[in-house]
Structure 1
Amino acid sequence: MDVSLQNMKPGESARVTGFAKGERDYRQRLLAMGLTPGAVFSVTRVAPLGDPVEIKVRNFTLTLRKAEASILKAVRV
């Protein structure tokens, strides 16, 4: 079952399964930052209003805005 990064809470982990259609340029940026299919990430922090979200992937932290994170498809681990 796919889960949205926006609905995850700090401490939860998920595995990248793919990306939504469209937004080709931003999808390439996410791939370059290590969010490739099969990569496991965990949510470390969520801003008080829910935007942005900080995740840890491949031993580094990455901060994504809601609009950026909306194209990421993942499944809980």
Structure 2
Amino acid sequence: MCPITVMPEGSEVTVARVTGGGEASKRLSELGLVPGVQVSVVQNGGGPLLLKVGESRFALGQGMALKVFVDGACR
């Protein structure tokens, strides 16, 4: 398990755990980033990540992205 920030572009991963509490956790949940959900990493160039969950695409800053841990091989 590793933070989604280390996953390369084109990766399709499953959310394993979301850390943090309060507003951060609520916001990630509203975006659909909850355990068990499939996420595609569309762009990861060191700044905000561009993610796809279902048919939705959104940018997620590095700070928030570090709270999302996924299953898969860490690079």
Aligned residue in 2 for 1:58: 54
Aligned residue in 2 for 1:37: 35
How many pairs are equivalent? 73
TM normalised by structure 1 equals 0.84
Aligned residue in 1 for 2:12: 13
Question: Unpaired runs of 5+ in structure 1?
Answer: none
- Cα distance between partner residues in 2 of 1:59 and 1:6: 21
* 1:70 aligns with one of 66, 69, 74: 66
Q: What is the aligned-residue RMSD (CA, Å)? A: 1.5
TM normalised by structure 2 equals 0.86
**Partner SS for 1:41:** strand
Question: Unpaired runs of 5+ in structure 2?
Answer: none
Is this contact kept in 1: 2:5–2:44, CA < 8 A? no
Residue 7 of structure 1 and its aligned partner are, at CA, apart by 0.7
4+ runs deviating over 2 angstroms: none
- Cα distance between partner residues in 2 of 1:59 and 1:35: 13
Is this contact kept in 1: 2:18–2:34, CA < 8 A? no
